Amino acid sequence: MKNILVIGATGQIGSELTLELRKRYGDDHVVAGYIPSAMPKGELKASGPSAIADVTDRQSIEVVARQFKIDTIYNLAALLSVVAESRPAMAWKIGIDGLWNVLEVAREYNCAVFTPSSIGSFGEATPHVKTPQDTIQRPRTMYGVTKVTTELLSDYYYTKYGVDTRSVRFPGIISNVTPPGGGTTDYAVDIFYSAVKGEKFVCPVKAGTYMDMMYMPDALNAAISLMEAAPARLKHRNAFNIASMSFDPEQIYQEIKKHMPDFEMAYEIDPLKQAIADSWPDSLDDSCAREEWDWMPQYDLESMTVDMLEKLRAKLNK
């Protein structure tokens, strides 16, 4: 990777990935792609180039690819799971029509492409414990449907046209920088904010609801490490299971209480979030990622909790 475009650079993952890529590859070599309604601010704007790159407008992506001699595209434009259910047409337009535009530009300008998939690409018929790399994927949400289609279309462009497409199936991502924004796993971010603010947390999914989660530093490292991996080692491409921790609400609650004994939690179940969570895996088998590109997470629930509380206390001045 020499010149990188991050589409969706102001989003949940993109805002942090863009800055991490600039640290590794140089500020001038990473373009923050955005849409006019979500312009870069602060460090993201000041630290390097930015340009309009709307996945629904192929020409805007072409302009950036030409101007900055882009060789790698991180396509992070998507609606999150709960939002996608309320806006299915828009979820498809951004997730699939947008991906088509990105892949066509990549084919023309010889770019590698990373478009993340998700644990949402699985469904109720999928084995839920240690979900295999290759298994049935029959999701019943629009979010999941777009993610499965993303995997298939990305593989198609690799086998048909030789476009270097790669992807991971992200679990729920927990960040101390980017606030939650409409995902099923966002309770695992909200709970830390409530704890640090001294508020009682109301959990939208029931006890015993296990989902795979990952701390943002590990997610960023996965996205970068996979794109840096030698192509000859990759037997799979779209998309790799990656995992670092799996827990239910009670486990994360008890972990926080080790540091904040007075913290309280209650349950008020959101039927939509619960239904989506129930259709997702409890845990993933990520052995293929470990074997093919040396994937190795650095954080577990305990170490993540310590870091989240420390960072949020500093951020919120608590």
CB-based contacts of 252: which residues, under 8 Å, 6+ apart?
188, 191, 301, 305
Cβ-count burial 270-301 (b if 16+ within 10 Å, e if not) = beebeebbebbbbbbbbebbbebbebebebeb
Angle at 96 between CA 91 and CA 99, to 5 degrees: 125
**Is the bond preceding residue 51 a cis peptide, omega within 30 degrees?**
no
Alpha carbon 247 to its chain centroid, in Å, reads 18
- Residue 158 falls in the annotated catalytic set: no
DSSP β-ladder status, 211-215 and 245-247: antiparallel
Q: Are 98 and 252 in contact (CB under 8 A)?
A: no
CA atoms of 207 and 33, how far apart (whole Å): 39
Catalytic residue among 34, 74, 143, 187: 143
Catalytic residues: 143
